[in-house]
């Protein structure tokens, strides 16, 4: 790890406020730990209430000029940032791995982030209002305007992708930003701040503060000058974000929250392909994915054959050093997350049976794991584990499996495997989820489609032009002639 850190030095750990890096006013710092070796990577400055207030003030002051710059000029900054990401992809990959332990072989985030800044630079033009002459003597214009200061709070599992997926559309739409990264993975957001400074964004347009849920995150969520908030994280914290908006200034809220995604394997599915896809759906990022395919329902007539493929796929995943190019499976992010997954495994063994995988008693690793024999309402079947653990059940009829799949408070993502198009359409329509993938699990890419949750998986949508909509309010101008 020392050599990797040396290649990145100096790692930025300060707050980025009003175009400058500065130490936290409290002097407090917290550790970022590399989950593979448990070594401290960096000590990061923690923003307190005063720091967040300063960041919001800077964003508020920067807002009018940024808004009035217009789409084309704002787009030039976004394009430069996109190029800077592409030029620094290797550093970003290393920092993501040091923070979350995801194998470098699975780093696709840099390309995605660079793509986001380029896409919104080019497409902010297309989100427009309307004009109407339907009422005699009155020209009605409906125009779209940015909110002002956009607050953003992101999780640790895909720090760079979440940064870009929120900051790029907000800036393109003319808002200024105060972003809080996760306390577990703050380094790529700070690296992005370095790039933002380097490419010459006006001071205050983007501010990056590191810190915990409270006080850093809660101060943003409750801030009277923050006009919109975009949050990605757990459903529990999402409820607090909605409540903070309600009790402060009714800021516009976008939430992208947790999931417990079902995968349905019908009796006519290509079983080998479905098994490979189901494996990826629960194993990718060690199961620490909002859309993780964590419940699997297989038709009873094909279960035996499917499980041969599925068990082999799950057992074949190469686990180990995240910096080794062959590694496909890294550790859980930290001790808390590791203990959480372990406790669900213990419960699964008590209430059902563990078929493949488990806890190898080696660092924070949990093997890709299959459990069976659990009741529909058991905790393992209903709660988001956020680890590489899939619970398998069988079904007989379409009606039965749709009811089982929908038997959850979440509604983020669902998959169905079948060769019958009528069945695929029928089941897709019946599933209560923001995205239904046919013959695929996650991630199937959301750049050109909407992404978001039904039920407790969130409110609002990201992806494509849906993201820009979150950062624009609508004004009617009525002109009498």
Which positions are catalytic? 256, 290
Between 218 and 441, CB nearer to ligand NAD:
218
State the minimum distance, in angstroms, from the CB of residue 161 to ligand NAD: 9
Single residue of 193, 221, 390, 431 touching ligand NAD by CB under 6 A: 221
State the minimum distance, in angstroms, from the CB of residue 224 to ligand NAD: 16
Close Cβ partners of 217 (under 8 Å, ≥ 6 residues apart): 153, 180, 211, 237
Distance CA 404, CA 416 (A): 13
Q: Does 156 bind ligand NAD (CB under 6 A)?
A: yes
Q: Euclidean distance between the first and final Cα of the chain, in Å?
A: 71
> Look-up: residue for tokens 């790039």?
195
Site string for ligand NAD, 407-446 (x = CB under 6 A): -----x----------------------------------
**CA atoms lying within 13 Å on the CB side of residue 315:** 8
Q: Does 277 bind ligand NAD (CB under 6 A)?
A: no
Q: Give the burial string for 236-270 (b: 16+ CB within 10 Å, else e).
A: ebbebbeebbeeeeebbbbbbbbbbbbbbbbbebe
Between 149 and 265, CB nearer to ligand NAD:
149
Single residue of 97, 230, 237, 286 touching ligand NAD by CB under 6 A: 237
Between 415 and 418, CB nearer to ligand NAD:
415
State the minimum distance, in angstroms, from the CB of residue 50 to ligand NAD: 17
State the minimum distance, in angstroms, from the CB of residue 82 to ligand NAD: 22
Site string for ligand NAD, 239-268 (x = CB under 6 A): -x---------------xxxx---------
Residue 87's φ and ψ, nearest 5 degrees, are -70, -20
Q: Which stretch binds ligand NAD (CB under 6 A): 15-23, 94-102, 179-187, 472-480?
A: 179-187
SS (H, E, C) 353-380: EEEEEECCCCCCCCEEEEEECCCCCCHH
Between 241 and 313, CB nearer to ligand NAD:
241
* Paired tokens of 111: 């390309």
Single residue of 232, 263, 283, 441 touching ligand NAD by CB under 6 A: 232
Contact 190, 139 (CB under 8 A): no
Single residue of 15, 47, 52, 153 touching ligand NAD by CB under 6 A: 153
Of 448-477, binders to ligand NAD (CB under 6 A) are 453, 458
Distance CA 373, CA 93 (A): 39
* Paired tokens of 15: 């707050």
Contact 322, 138 (CB under 8 A): no
Between 234 and 444, CB nearer to ligand NAD:
234
* Paired tokens of 429: 């329509």
State the minimum distance, in angstroms, from the CB of residue 134 to ligand NAD: 39
State the minimum distance, in angstroms, from the CB of residue 156 to ligand NAD: 5
Q: Where are the beta strands (DSSP E) in 294-352?
A: 295-299
Distance CA 329, CA 314 (A): 11
Q: Which stretch binds ligand NAD (CB under 6 A): 110-118, 198-206, 229-237, 472-480?
A: 229-237
Distance CA 339, CA 130 (A): 53
Q: Does 157 bind ligand NAD (CB under 6 A)?
A: yes
Between 213 and 373, CB nearer to ligand NAD:
213
* Paired tokens of 451: 């992404």
Closest by CA to 30, choosing from 40, 20, 17, 16, is: 40
Q: Where are the beta strands (DSSP E) in 35-168?
A: 39-45, 130-132, 138-146, 149-153
CA distances from 336 to 6, 234, 265, 317, 319 (A): 28, 15, 33, 24, 20
Q: Does 13 bind ligand NAD (CB under 6 A)?
A: no
Close Cβ partners of 422 (under 8 Å, ≥ 6 residues apart): none
State the minimum distance, in angstroms, from the CB of residue 384 to ligand NAD: 5
Number of residues engaging ligand NAD in binding (CB under 6 A)? 29
Q: Which stretch binds ligand NAD (CB under 6 A): 191-199, 213-221, 343-351, 466-474?
A: 213-221
Closest by CA to 287, choosing from 441, 439, 438, 431, is: 441
Single residue of 19, 155, 159, 443 touching ligand NAD by CB under 6 A: 155
Distance CA 454, CA 432 (A): 7
Contact 357, 132 (CB under 8 A): no
Q: Which stretch binds ligand NAD (CB under 6 A): 44-52, 216-224, 340-348, 421-429?
A: 216-224
The DSSP letter of residue 284 is G
State the minimum distance, in angstroms, from the CB of residue 232 to ligand NAD: 5
Single residue of 202, 213, 276, 363 touching ligand NAD by CB under 6 A: 213
State the minimum distance, in angstroms, from the CB of residue 71 to ligand NAD: 26
Of 34-53, binders to ligand NAD (CB under 6 A) are none
Residue 295's φ and ψ, nearest 5 degrees, are -125, 130
Q: Does 26 bind ligand NAD (CB under 6 A)?
A: no
Q: Does 107 bind ligand NAD (CB under 6 A)?
A: no
| Site residues (vs ligand NAD, CB under 6 A) | 153-157, 180, 182-183, 212-214, 217-218, 221, 232-234, 237, 240, 256-259, 290, 384, 386, 412, 453, 458
């Amino acid at each position: 790890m020392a050599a990797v850190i040396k290649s990145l030095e100096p790692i930025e750990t300060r707050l980025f406020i009003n175009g400058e890096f500065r130490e936290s006013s409290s002097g407090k710092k917290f550790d970022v730990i590399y989950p593979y070796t448990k070594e401290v990577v960096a000590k990061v400055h923690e923003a307190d209430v005063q720091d967040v207030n300063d960041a919001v003030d800077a964003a508020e002051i920067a807002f009018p000029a940024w808004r009035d710059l217009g789409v084309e000029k704002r787009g030039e900054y976004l394009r430069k940032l996109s190029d800077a990401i592409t030029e620094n992809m290797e550093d970003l990959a290393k920092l993501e791995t040091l923070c979350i332990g995801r194998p470098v072989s699975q780093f696709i985030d840099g390309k995605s982030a660079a793509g986001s800044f380029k896409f919104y630079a080019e497409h902010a033009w297309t989100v427009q209002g309307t004009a109407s002459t339907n009422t005699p003597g009155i020209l009605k214009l409906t125009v779209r305007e940015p909110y002002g200061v956009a607050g953003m709070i992101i999780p640790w599992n895909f720090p760079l992708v979440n940064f870009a997926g929120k900051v790029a559309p907000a800036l393109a739409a003319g808002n200024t930003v105060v972003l809080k990264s996760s306390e577990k993975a703050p380094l790529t957001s700070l690296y992005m701040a370095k790039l933002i400074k380097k490419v010459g964004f006006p001071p205050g347009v983007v501010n990056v503060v590191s810190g915990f849920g409270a006080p850093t995150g809660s101060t943003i969520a409750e801030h009277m000058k923050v006009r919109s908030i975009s949050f990605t994280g757990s459903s529990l914290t999402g409820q607090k974000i909605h409540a903070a908006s309600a009790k402060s200034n009714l800021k516009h809220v976008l939430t992208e929250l947790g999931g417990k995604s079902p995968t349905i394997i019908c009796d006519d599915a290509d079983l080998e392909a479905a098994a490979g896809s189901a494996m990826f759906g629960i194993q990718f990022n060690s199961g620490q994915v909002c859309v993780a395919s964590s419940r699997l329902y297989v038709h009873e007539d094909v279960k035996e054959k499917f499980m041969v493929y599925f068990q082999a796929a799950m057992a074949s995943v190469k686990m180990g050093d995240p910096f080794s190019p062959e590694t496909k499976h890294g550790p859980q992010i930290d001790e808390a997350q590791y203990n959480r997954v372990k406790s669900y495994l213990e419960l699964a063994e008590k209430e059902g049976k563990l078929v493949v995988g488990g806890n190898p008693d080696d660092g924070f690793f949990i093997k890709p794991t299959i459990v069976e024999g659990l009741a529909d309402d058991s905790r393992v079947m209903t709660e988001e584990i956020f680890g590489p653990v899939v619970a398998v059940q069988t079904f007989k009829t379409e009606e039965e499996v749709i009811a089982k799949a929908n038997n959850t408070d979440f509604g983020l993502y669902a998959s169905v495997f079948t060769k019958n198009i009528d069945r695929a359409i029928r089941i897709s329509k019946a599933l209560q989820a923001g995205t239904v993938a046919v013959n695929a699990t996650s991630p199937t890419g959301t750049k050109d489609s909407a992404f978001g949750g039904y039920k407790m998986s969130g409110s609002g949508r990201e992806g494509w032009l849906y993201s820009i909509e979150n950062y624009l309010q609508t004004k009617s101008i009525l002109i009498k002639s």
